[in-house]
Amino acid sequence: MENIIYLHGGVGGHTDYSERVRGYAMNSMTGDSLESAIHGVLQLEDDPDFNAGTGSYPRIDGSIQMDAAVMTEKTFGSVIAIEHVRNPVLVARDVMEKSPHVMMSGDGAIEFARKMGHGFYDVSTERTLERHIKMLTKIKEGTDSLNDKEKFIRDILGFGESTGDTVGAIARINGKFAVAVSTGGSVPMLRGRVGDTPIIGCGFYCGPKGGIVTTGIGEEIAKRMLCYNIYNQIGSDSLKNILDDAVKDFGDILVGIIAVTRDEYASSANGNMSTGIHIF
């Protein structure tokens, strides 16, 4: 059985970074599935062109809260709404490996990160600040022609461009699977909003049959427990058909999926999704 590292850089972006993502996949080769998946996500978190780690998008109030998770065939760890750390995926691994918990959130996650040696880091960039200002301007301008529901979204959530960027990785090394995911969220969003990324079975899942990670509008992915449902279908059809059918169920709601099983790997999306794969 060949070893494989499969990365994605989020769905819905206007630029295709697949060549860069392929390079990150090649640089992630190790002898361990979890280390390979995490190293892939680390590179994406450190690249300001992706909405994870450095370059994460601000929320309506200007704060940046990030989610991340890791999972092996036996256990998982995740952080929710964590702030001021460079690599949330490393904190998620510490939750899994060094704490008695599997999920930590908010101030508690930040305090835990500091105790684990993760120092303060400002993940904002000039690009994300400019985008935030543009979104707020659009919200404030609004129009008189909005219906009641649209006015509510404008007044409470913001009426801006919706994005579903998330970064993720799947590794199958020596027959063992692991996944890692990280995100700055889906714009526009309130402080405290949680999407699919840190929730097991929704934005990520893996087991002895394979690994799946998703990207897109997290609320809709979570409602469907998308990754767990796909995992349970492994073997019932070709992997590509399973993913394509799952994406069709979303209609025009933004979603992307990558998956690796013991015999196959595949991806499917209804928007532009940068991906990279390395087989060795």
pLDDT of residue 147: 42
The answer, yes or no, to whether the previous bond of 188 is cis (omega within 30 of 0) is: yes
CB atoms near residue 272 (< 10 Å): 17
pLDDT of residue 127: 78
pLDDT of residue 278: 97
pLDDT of residue 160: 44
For residue 161, the Cα-to-chain-centroid distance in whole angstroms is 18
pLDDT of residue 144: 55
pLDDT of residue 263: 96
Residue pair 86/123 in contact by the 8 Å Cβ criterion: yes
For the domain made up of 4-124+163-279, the CATH class stated in words is: alpha beta
Helix (H) or strand (E) holding 140: helix 126-141
Alpha-carbon radius of gyration of the chain:
18
Q: What is this structure's pTM?
A: 0.90
pLDDT of residue 152: 55
pLDDT of residue 130: 76
Catalytic residue among 166, 214, 215, 275: 166
Distance CA 39, CA 97 (A): 16
Q: What is the mean pLDDT of each successive set of 10 residues along the chain, which is 280 residues long? A: 94 89 97 98 96 90 94 98 98 98 98 98 83 67 50 52 74 98 86 94 98 95 98 98 98 96 97 96
pLDDT of residue 153: 47
Distinct helix (H) and strand (E) counts, the chain: 9, 11
Helix (H) or strand (E) holding 38: helix 33-46
pLDDT of residue 155: 62
Domain residue ranges of the chain, discontinuous segments joined by +: 4-124+163-279, 127-157
Active site residue 143: no
